[in-house]
Amino acid sequence: MYERFLKDAKSHYQEFPDKLNVDLGLAIKHIRLRMGMPQEELARNAKIKLTALRSLENGYASFTNQSNLEAIAKVLRINASEIIFESKEWFPGNFFVLKTDEPASENKNRAKEEEKWFKKKALSYEGFSVNFSSPPLVAPSHFCFASIEIDPGKEISDLKIKYPNQVAGFVQRGSLGITYDAKPETFSIYGNQCFRLRGDKIHKFTNLDSDNSLKFYLAFALTASPSIKDNSKQKSISPSISIGRAINQIRYLYSDWNDKLLTYRELSHLTGLHEKSLQYLESTTEPEQVIYWNKIDQITRSLKMPLARFLELAEGKDEGYFQIATAHDRALIDYRHYLGVRMKSALLPGTDNVFQISETYIEPKGGIRRTTWKRNDNAMIAVSIEDGELLIEVGKNRKTFLKEGESVYFDGSLGYIFTNPGTKPAKAIIATYPPIIF
Protein backbone atom coordinates (compact mmCIF):
# COMPACT_ATOMS: atom_id res chain seq x y z
CA MET A 1 0.00 0.00 0.00
CA TYR A 2 2.87 2.39 0.75
CA GLU A 3 4.25 1.80 -2.75
CA ARG A 4 0.82 2.53 -4.20
CA PHE A 5 0.66 5.88 -2.39
CA LEU A 6 3.96 6.96 -3.94
CA LYS A 7 2.98 5.67 -7.39
CA ASP A 8 -0.27 7.64 -7.25
CA ALA A 9 1.63 10.75 -6.11
CA LYS A 10 3.96 10.41 -9.08
CA SER A 11 0.96 10.46 -11.42
CA HIS A 12 -0.02 13.86 -9.96
CA TYR A 13 3.45 15.35 -10.51
CA GLN A 14 4.44 13.92 -13.88
CA GLU A 15 6.96 16.71 -14.53
CA PHE A 16 9.03 15.52 -11.58
CA PRO A 17 12.15 13.57 -12.71
CA ASP A 18 12.29 9.82 -12.12
CA LYS A 19 15.93 9.77 -11.01
CA LEU A 20 18.40 11.85 -9.06
CA ASN A 21 20.20 14.31 -11.30
CA VAL A 22 23.07 16.78 -10.90
CA ASP A 23 22.24 19.62 -13.29
CA LEU A 24 25.61 21.26 -13.91
CA GLY A 25 24.26 23.23 -16.87
CA LEU A 26 21.50 24.92 -14.89
CA ALA A 27 23.98 25.87 -12.17
CA ILE A 28 26.35 27.35 -14.77
CA LYS A 29 23.46 29.28 -16.33
CA HIS A 30 22.36 30.82 -13.03
CA ILE A 31 25.90 31.83 -12.08
CA ARG A 32 26.49 33.31 -15.53
CA LEU A 33 23.22 35.28 -15.46
CA ARG A 34 23.98 36.65 -12.00
CA MET A 35 27.26 37.98 -13.41
CA GLY A 36 25.48 39.46 -16.45
CA MET A 37 27.71 37.48 -18.81
CA PRO A 38 26.38 36.48 -22.27
CA GLN A 39 26.71 32.86 -23.39
CA GLU A 40 28.97 33.89 -26.25
CA GLU A 41 31.45 35.56 -23.88
CA LEU A 42 31.61 32.57 -21.55
CA ALA A 43 32.09 30.10 -24.43
CA ARG A 44 34.76 32.27 -26.09
CA ASN A 45 36.81 32.88 -22.93
CA ALA A 46 36.50 29.25 -21.77
CA LYS A 47 37.50 28.12 -25.28
CA ILE A 48 34.59 25.73 -25.70
CA LYS A 49 32.04 25.51 -28.49
CA LEU A 50 29.00 27.75 -28.10
CA THR A 51 26.73 24.87 -29.16
CA ALA A 52 28.22 22.69 -26.41
CA LEU A 53 27.56 25.37 -23.77
CA ARG A 54 24.01 25.91 -24.99
CA SER A 55 23.34 22.19 -24.95
CA LEU A 56 24.66 21.98 -21.38
CA GLU A 57 22.73 24.99 -20.07
CA ASN A 58 19.46 23.95 -21.74
CA GLY A 59 19.60 20.47 -20.25
CA TYR A 60 20.16 18.50 -23.46
CA ALA A 61 23.60 17.45 -22.25
CA SER A 62 23.92 16.41 -18.60
CA PHE A 63 27.70 16.34 -18.22
CA THR A 64 30.92 17.80 -19.53
CA ASN A 65 34.55 16.82 -19.14
CA GLN A 66 36.68 18.07 -16.28
CA SER A 67 38.78 20.41 -18.41
CA ASN A 68 35.66 22.19 -19.69
CA LEU A 69 34.29 22.48 -16.16
CA GLU A 70 37.56 23.96 -14.89
CA ALA A 71 37.70 26.39 -17.81
CA ILE A 72 34.13 27.56 -17.24
CA ALA A 73 34.74 27.97 -13.51
CA LYS A 74 37.87 30.05 -14.17
CA VAL A 75 35.95 32.45 -16.44
CA LEU A 76 33.15 32.70 -13.84
CA ARG A 77 35.82 33.43 -11.16
CA ILE A 78 34.76 30.57 -8.90
CA ASN A 79 35.98 27.09 -8.01
CA ALA A 80 34.63 24.14 -9.96
CA SER A 81 33.34 22.71 -6.68
CA GLU A 82 31.00 25.71 -6.31
CA ILE A 83 29.30 24.77 -9.58
CA ILE A 84 28.81 21.22 -8.32
CA PHE A 85 27.39 22.37 -4.96
CA GLU A 86 25.07 24.86 -6.61
CA SER A 87 23.81 22.17 -8.99
CA LYS A 88 22.46 20.32 -5.94
CA GLU A 89 20.20 23.29 -5.24
CA TRP A 90 18.54 23.04 -8.64
CA PHE A 91 17.58 19.36 -8.46
CA PRO A 92 13.81 19.36 -7.77
CA GLY A 93 14.15 16.63 -5.13
CA ASN A 94 16.42 18.87 -3.05
CA PHE A 95 13.92 21.75 -3.04
CA PHE A 96 10.34 20.58 -3.56
CA VAL A 97 7.61 23.12 -2.83
CA LEU A 98 3.87 22.41 -2.64
CA LYS A 99 1.43 25.32 -2.54
CA THR A 100 -2.33 25.67 -2.58
CA ASP A 101 -2.15 28.11 -5.55
CA GLU A 102 -1.58 27.19 -9.16
CA PRO A 103 2.02 27.88 -10.25
CA ALA A 104 2.52 30.79 -12.62
CA SER A 105 3.05 29.91 -16.30
CA GLU A 106 6.58 31.30 -16.30
CA ASN A 107 7.48 28.64 -13.74
CA LYS A 108 8.27 26.36 -16.66
CA ASN A 109 11.20 28.54 -17.75
CA ARG A 110 14.57 27.16 -16.62
CA ALA A 111 15.69 30.70 -15.76
CA LYS A 112 12.84 30.87 -13.20
CA GLU A 113 13.64 27.63 -11.38
CA GLU A 114 14.08 29.43 -8.05
CA GLU A 115 10.36 30.31 -8.14
CA LYS A 116 9.05 26.89 -9.15
CA TRP A 117 6.48 25.01 -7.12
CA PHE A 118 3.77 22.40 -7.60
CA LYS A 119 0.11 22.69 -6.69
CA LYS A 120 -0.68 20.57 -3.64
CA LYS A 121 -3.00 17.68 -4.50
CA ALA A 122 -4.50 15.20 -2.07
CA LEU A 123 -4.68 11.52 -2.97
CA SER A 124 -8.26 10.44 -2.31
CA TYR A 125 -9.21 6.85 -1.48
CA GLU A 126 -12.30 5.23 -0.04
CA GLY A 127 -12.54 6.49 3.52
CA PHE A 128 -9.24 8.36 3.69
CA SER A 129 -6.89 10.80 1.94
CA VAL A 130 -3.10 11.24 1.79
CA ASN A 131 -1.30 14.57 1.41
CA PHE A 132 2.43 14.29 0.66
CA SER A 133 4.95 16.97 1.66
CA SER A 134 7.83 15.02 0.08
CA PRO A 135 8.50 14.48 -3.64
CA PRO A 136 7.47 11.30 -5.51
CA LEU A 137 11.00 9.98 -5.38
CA VAL A 138 12.49 6.69 -4.19
CA ALA A 139 16.20 7.03 -3.43
CA PRO A 140 18.43 5.90 -0.53
CA SER A 141 18.94 9.41 0.86
CA HIS A 142 15.28 10.46 0.62
CA PHE A 143 12.16 9.67 2.63
CA CYS A 144 8.39 10.08 2.41
CA PHE A 145 6.40 12.39 4.65
CA ALA A 146 2.63 12.84 4.47
CA SER A 147 -0.42 13.87 6.43
CA ILE A 148 -3.22 11.31 6.44
CA GLU A 149 -6.89 11.94 7.20
CA ILE A 150 -9.26 9.04 7.88
CA ASP A 151 -13.03 9.46 7.89
CA PRO A 152 -15.01 8.54 11.03
CA GLY A 153 -14.97 4.78 11.64
CA LYS A 154 -12.89 4.04 8.51
CA GLU A 155 -9.53 2.27 8.20
CA ILE A 156 -6.43 1.70 6.04
CA SER A 157 -5.61 -1.99 6.00
CA ASP A 158 -2.92 -4.33 4.64
CA LEU A 159 -0.11 -1.85 5.17
CA LYS A 160 3.38 -3.28 4.78
CA ILE A 161 6.82 -2.19 3.57
CA LYS A 162 9.03 -4.64 1.71
CA TYR A 163 11.96 -4.04 4.06
CA PRO A 164 12.07 -3.90 7.89
CA ASN A 165 12.25 -0.10 7.82
CA GLN A 166 10.94 2.09 10.60
CA VAL A 167 7.59 3.87 10.20
CA ALA A 168 7.00 6.86 12.49
CA GLY A 169 3.82 8.82 13.11
CA PHE A 170 2.41 11.77 15.05
CA VAL A 171 -1.33 12.10 15.76
CA GLN A 172 -2.43 15.71 15.42
CA ARG A 173 -6.10 15.18 16.22
CA GLY A 174 -8.49 12.32 16.80
CA SER A 175 -8.14 8.73 17.99
CA LEU A 176 -5.94 6.33 16.02
CA GLY A 177 -6.14 2.58 16.43
CA ILE A 178 -3.23 0.44 15.20
CA THR A 179 -3.37 -3.30 14.74
CA TYR A 180 0.13 -4.69 14.36
CA ASP A 181 1.65 -7.99 13.21
CA ALA A 182 -1.62 -9.96 13.33
CA LYS A 183 -1.87 -9.42 17.10
CA PRO A 184 -5.44 -9.46 18.45
CA GLU A 185 -5.22 -6.22 20.45
CA THR A 186 -5.59 -2.71 18.99
CA PHE A 187 -3.25 -0.01 20.27
CA SER A 188 -4.97 3.33 20.88
CA ILE A 189 -3.11 6.57 20.19
CA TYR A 190 -4.62 10.00 20.74
CA GLY A 191 -3.89 13.59 19.77
CA ASN A 192 -0.41 14.82 20.74
CA GLN A 193 0.91 11.24 20.91
CA CYS A 194 3.34 9.45 18.62
CA PHE A 195 4.38 5.97 17.55
CA ARG A 196 7.06 4.06 15.71
CA LEU A 197 6.94 0.53 14.31
CA ARG A 198 8.79 -1.85 12.03
CA GLY A 199 7.12 -1.57 8.67
CA ASP A 200 7.64 -5.07 7.28
CA LYS A 201 4.97 -6.46 9.59
CA ILE A 202 1.37 -6.11 8.39
CA HIS A 203 -0.43 -3.28 10.19
CA LYS A 204 -3.69 -1.36 10.00
CA PHE A 205 -4.69 2.23 10.85
CA THR A 206 -8.26 2.80 12.09
CA ASN A 207 -10.17 5.92 13.09
CA LEU A 208 -11.64 4.87 16.43
CA ASP A 209 -14.02 7.85 16.48
CA SER A 210 -17.34 7.28 14.74
CA ASP A 211 -18.17 11.01 14.61
CA ASN A 212 -14.95 12.93 13.89
CA SER A 213 -12.16 12.66 11.34
CA LEU A 214 -8.61 11.66 12.29
CA LYS A 215 -5.42 13.41 11.13
CA PHE A 216 -1.88 12.17 11.65
CA TYR A 217 1.54 12.59 10.05
CA LEU A 218 3.55 9.63 8.79
CA ALA A 219 7.24 9.25 7.88
CA PHE A 220 8.65 6.22 6.07
CA ALA A 221 11.29 5.17 3.53
CA LEU A 222 10.87 2.62 0.76
CA THR A 223 14.53 1.87 0.08
CA ALA A 224 16.60 -0.58 2.12
CA SER A 225 19.99 0.12 3.61
CA PRO A 226 22.67 -2.48 2.75
CA SER A 227 22.11 -4.08 6.17
CA ILE A 228 18.39 -4.63 5.71
CA LYS A 229 17.07 -7.66 3.90
CA ASP A 230 14.21 -10.09 4.35
CA ASN A 231 15.77 -13.17 5.94
CA SER A 232 12.51 -15.07 6.32
CA LYS A 233 13.65 -17.54 3.66
CA GLN A 234 16.65 -18.64 5.71
CA LYS A 235 16.39 -22.10 7.17
CA SER A 236 14.63 -22.47 10.52
CA ILE A 237 16.95 -22.61 13.49
CA SER A 238 16.79 -23.49 17.16
CA PRO A 239 16.16 -20.71 19.74
CA SER A 240 19.48 -21.15 21.61
CA ILE A 241 22.09 -18.40 21.34
CA SER A 242 24.65 -19.02 18.58
CA ILE A 243 27.26 -16.38 17.82
CA GLY A 244 28.09 -18.21 14.61
CA ARG A 245 24.46 -17.91 13.56
CA ALA A 246 24.50 -14.15 14.17
CA ILE A 247 27.71 -13.64 12.14
CA ASN A 248 26.24 -15.72 9.32
CA GLN A 249 23.06 -13.62 9.37
CA ILE A 250 25.09 -10.39 9.31
CA ARG A 251 26.97 -11.65 6.24
CA TYR A 252 23.61 -12.37 4.63
CA LEU A 253 21.95 -9.09 5.60
CA TYR A 254 24.88 -6.92 4.51
CA SER A 255 25.36 -8.64 1.16
CA ASP A 256 24.03 -6.97 -1.98
CA TRP A 257 23.14 -10.40 -3.36
CA ASN A 258 20.22 -12.61 -2.42
CA ASP A 259 22.15 -15.85 -2.97
CA LYS A 260 25.63 -14.84 -1.79
CA LEU A 261 27.04 -13.93 1.61
CA LEU A 262 29.24 -10.95 2.29
CA THR A 263 32.86 -12.11 2.07
CA TYR A 264 35.03 -12.20 5.18
CA ARG A 265 37.27 -9.65 3.52
CA GLU A 266 34.34 -7.25 3.05
CA LEU A 267 33.12 -7.78 6.61
CA SER A 268 36.68 -7.26 7.85
CA HIS A 269 36.74 -3.91 6.08
CA LEU A 270 33.43 -2.90 7.73
CA THR A 271 34.33 -3.98 11.25
CA GLY A 272 38.12 -3.66 11.46
CA LEU A 273 38.48 -7.28 12.63
CA HIS A 274 40.86 -9.71 10.94
CA GLU A 275 39.29 -12.18 8.52
CA LYS A 276 40.48 -15.15 10.61
CA SER A 277 38.80 -13.69 13.71
CA LEU A 278 35.52 -13.43 11.82
CA GLN A 279 35.85 -16.98 10.52
CA TYR A 280 36.42 -18.21 14.07
CA LEU A 281 33.39 -16.31 15.39
CA GLU A 282 31.18 -17.80 12.71
CA SER A 283 32.40 -21.26 13.69
CA THR A 284 31.42 -20.76 17.35
CA THR A 285 28.30 -22.91 17.32
CA GLU A 286 29.13 -25.23 20.22
CA PRO A 287 28.62 -24.37 23.93
CA GLU A 288 32.21 -25.37 24.79
CA GLN A 289 33.79 -22.79 22.47
CA VAL A 290 35.14 -19.51 23.86
CA ILE A 291 33.32 -16.34 22.77
CA TYR A 292 35.37 -13.15 22.59
CA TRP A 293 32.76 -10.58 23.56
CA ASN A 294 35.13 -7.66 23.00
CA LYS A 295 35.11 -8.61 19.33
CA ILE A 296 31.31 -8.82 19.35
CA ASP A 297 31.25 -5.32 20.84
CA GLN A 298 33.54 -4.08 18.06
CA ILE A 299 31.30 -5.61 15.41
CA THR A 300 28.10 -4.08 16.78
CA ARG A 301 29.68 -0.66 17.24
CA SER A 302 31.23 -0.67 13.77
CA LEU A 303 27.93 -1.63 12.16
CA LYS A 304 25.94 0.70 14.46
CA MET A 305 23.87 -2.32 15.41
CA PRO A 306 22.34 -2.44 18.91
CA LEU A 307 23.59 -5.39 20.94
CA ALA A 308 19.97 -6.43 21.46
CA ARG A 309 19.58 -6.77 17.69
CA PHE A 310 22.77 -8.88 17.48
CA LEU A 311 21.42 -11.20 20.18
CA GLU A 312 18.12 -11.52 18.32
CA LEU A 313 20.07 -12.74 15.29
CA ALA A 314 22.01 -15.12 17.56
CA GLU A 315 18.72 -16.53 18.85
CA GLY A 316 17.18 -16.77 15.39
CA LYS A 317 14.51 -14.15 16.16
CA ASP A 318 13.13 -11.67 13.68
CA GLU A 319 10.37 -9.88 15.58
CA GLY A 320 8.96 -6.49 14.85
CA TYR A 321 8.39 -3.66 17.33
CA PHE A 322 5.70 -1.15 18.16
CA GLN A 323 6.25 1.76 20.57
CA ILE A 324 4.13 4.70 21.72
CA ALA A 325 5.30 8.07 23.02
CA THR A 326 2.90 10.13 25.13
CA ALA A 327 3.05 13.87 25.70
CA HIS A 328 5.19 13.24 28.81
CA ASP A 329 7.87 11.46 26.74
CA ARG A 330 8.47 14.32 24.33
CA ALA A 331 11.59 16.51 24.54
CA LEU A 332 11.33 20.32 24.40
CA ILE A 333 14.19 22.40 22.98
CA ASP A 334 13.61 26.10 23.64
CA TYR A 335 15.71 28.62 21.66
CA ARG A 336 13.14 31.43 21.87
CA HIS A 337 15.34 33.99 23.58
CA TYR A 338 18.30 33.49 21.26
CA LEU A 339 17.05 32.19 17.91
CA GLY A 340 13.28 32.56 18.22
CA VAL A 341 12.59 28.84 17.81
CA ARG A 342 10.92 26.17 19.97
CA MET A 343 10.99 22.50 19.00
CA LYS A 344 8.89 19.84 20.68
CA SER A 345 9.99 16.38 19.62
CA ALA A 346 7.17 14.00 18.71
CA LEU A 347 9.05 10.73 19.19
CA LEU A 348 10.65 8.98 22.14
CA PRO A 349 14.07 10.44 23.02
CA GLY A 350 17.03 8.23 22.17
CA THR A 351 19.13 6.88 19.35
CA ASP A 352 16.62 4.31 18.06
CA ASN A 353 14.77 6.80 15.86
CA VAL A 354 15.30 6.66 12.09
CA PHE A 355 13.27 9.87 11.65
CA GLN A 356 12.65 12.95 13.73
CA ILE A 357 9.22 14.58 13.83
CA SER A 358 8.63 17.74 15.83
CA GLU A 359 6.19 20.56 16.36
CA THR A 360 8.23 23.70 15.72
CA TYR A 361 7.26 27.28 16.58
CA ILE A 362 9.10 30.20 14.93
CA GLU A 363 8.72 33.63 16.54
CA PRO A 364 8.07 36.76 14.42
CA LYS A 365 11.26 38.20 12.92
CA GLY A 366 11.28 41.41 14.97
CA GLY A 367 14.37 41.31 17.18
CA ILE A 368 15.21 37.73 16.18
CA ARG A 369 18.66 36.94 14.87
CA ARG A 370 18.76 35.46 11.36
CA THR A 371 20.74 32.24 11.70
CA THR A 372 21.69 29.79 9.00
CA TRP A 373 21.11 26.19 10.10
CA LYS A 374 23.02 23.44 8.34
CA ARG A 375 23.05 19.66 8.66
CA ASN A 376 26.39 17.91 8.22
CA ASP A 377 24.84 14.47 7.58
CA ASN A 378 23.02 15.10 4.25
CA ALA A 379 19.69 15.05 6.10
CA MET A 380 16.51 15.63 4.11
CA ILE A 381 13.96 17.89 5.82
CA ALA A 382 10.20 18.24 5.30
CA VAL A 383 8.32 21.29 6.61
CA SER A 384 4.52 21.51 6.66
CA ILE A 385 2.95 24.78 7.81
CA GLU A 386 0.15 24.35 10.35
CA ASP A 387 -0.44 27.98 11.28
CA GLY A 388 0.92 31.36 10.25
CA GLU A 389 3.41 32.03 7.46
CA LEU A 390 7.08 31.32 6.93
CA LEU A 391 9.86 32.35 4.55
CA ILE A 392 12.33 29.51 4.01
CA GLU A 393 15.67 30.11 2.28
CA VAL A 394 17.78 27.10 1.22
CA GLY A 395 21.36 27.28 0.02
CA LYS A 396 22.40 30.47 -1.74
CA ASN A 397 19.59 30.77 -4.25
CA ARG A 398 16.38 28.94 -3.32
CA LYS A 399 13.58 30.41 -1.25
CA THR A 400 9.83 30.11 -0.85
CA PHE A 401 7.09 31.87 1.09
CA LEU A 402 4.63 29.44 2.65
CA LYS A 403 1.31 29.81 4.41
CA GLU A 404 -0.98 27.38 6.23
CA GLY A 405 -1.45 24.11 4.34
CA GLU A 406 1.72 24.47 2.24
CA SER A 407 5.03 22.65 2.49
CA VAL A 408 8.65 22.37 1.37
CA TYR A 409 11.09 19.44 1.30
CA PHE A 410 14.81 20.17 0.97
CA ASP A 411 18.40 19.05 1.49
CA GLY A 412 19.48 20.25 4.93
CA SER A 413 23.18 20.09 4.02
CA LEU A 414 22.69 23.11 1.73
CA GLY A 415 22.01 25.34 4.74
CA TYR A 416 18.67 26.99 5.49
CA ILE A 417 17.07 29.99 7.20
CA PHE A 418 13.55 30.22 8.68
CA THR A 419 12.03 33.71 8.89
CA ASN A 420 8.56 34.47 10.23
CA PRO A 421 7.39 37.71 8.50
CA GLY A 422 4.11 37.77 10.41
CA THR A 423 3.06 39.14 13.78
CA LYS A 424 2.37 35.86 15.60
CA PRO A 425 4.40 32.64 16.02
CA ALA A 426 4.28 30.31 13.03
CA LYS A 427 3.72 26.62 13.68
CA ALA A 428 5.21 23.91 11.46
CA ILE A 429 5.45 20.13 11.59
CA ILE A 430 9.05 19.30 10.67
CA ALA A 431 10.41 15.85 9.86
CA THR A 432 14.05 14.97 9.20
CA TYR A 433 15.83 11.87 7.91
CA PRO A 434 18.18 11.02 9.56
CA PRO A 435 16.91 12.40 12.88
CA ILE A 436 18.07 15.08 15.25
CA ILE A 437 19.36 13.28 18.35
CA PHE A 438 17.97 14.63 21.65
Helix (H) or strand (E) holding 265: helix 264-271
Most confidently modeled range among 62-66, 170-174, 239-243: 170-174
Q: Do 351 and 407 sit in the same domain of this protein?
A: yes
The CATH code of the domain that includes 299 is 1.10.260.40
Same domain? 247 vs 204:
no
* Position 114 in a domain: no
What is the domain-level CATH number for residue 179? Answer: 2.60.120.10
Same domain, 287 and 332: no
Write the DSSP symbol of residue 49. -
For residues 299 and 278, state if they share a domain: yes
B/e letters for 234-261, b = 16+ CB within 10 Å, e = fewer, are eeeeeeeebbbbbbbbbbbbbbeeeeeb
- CA-to-CA distance for 431 and 415, rounded, in angstroms? 16
Convert the pLDDT of each residue in 57-92 to its tens digit.
887 877 778 788 889 999 999 988 888 888 888 888
* Same structural domain, 82 and 126: no
Please tell me the predicted confidence (pLDDT) of residue 49: 92
Helices (H), 61-117: 66-75, 80-90
Alpha-carbon span 228 to 255, nearest angstrom: 9
pLDDT band at 111 (very low <50, low <70, confident <90, very high): very low
Which of these three, 291, 325, 359, is where a domain ends?
325
Determine, yes or no, domain membership for 208. yes
Collect all residues with Cβ–Cβ distance below 8 Å to 119 and sequence separation of at least 6.
98, 99, 100, 101, 102, 103
Residue 300 lies in a domain: yes
Q: Could you tell me if 349 and 402 lie in one domain?
A: yes
Distances (CA, A) of 47 to 74, 134, 145, 235: 11, 41, 46, 63
Task: Give every CB contact of residue 297 below 8 A, 6+ residues apart in sequence.
Answer: 307
Q: Which of 303, 325, 347 is the last residue of a domain?
A: 325
Which residue, among 146, 149, 154, 129, has the nearest Cα to 206 in the 3D structure? 154
* Helix residue ranges, H only, 175-263: 243-253
Range of the domain at 27: 22-90
**Any domain includes 149:** yes
Residue 248's alpha-carbon distances to 229, 245, 272, 314, in angstroms, are: 13, 5, 17, 9
Number of domains forming the structure of the chain: 4
Domain boundary among 289, 315, 341: 315
Looking at the fold, whether 310 and 336 belong to one and the same domain comes out as no
Indicate whether 396 and 335 sit together in one domain: yes
Does 125 share its domain with 154? yes
Q: Which of 35-49, 131-145, 312-326, 336-350 shows the highest mean pLDDT?
A: 35-49
| Alpha carbon distance 20, 106 (integer Å) | 24
Q: Is the pLDDT of residue 159 over 90?
A: yes
396-417 pLDDT tens trace: 889 999 999 999 999 998 889 8
Has residue 17 been placed in a domain? Answer: no
Check whether residue 299 and residue 334 sit in a common domain. Answer: no
Are 353 and 403 in a shared domain?
yes
User: Would residue 70 count as lying in a domain?
Assistant: yes
Computed over every residue of the chain, the mean pLDDT equals 84
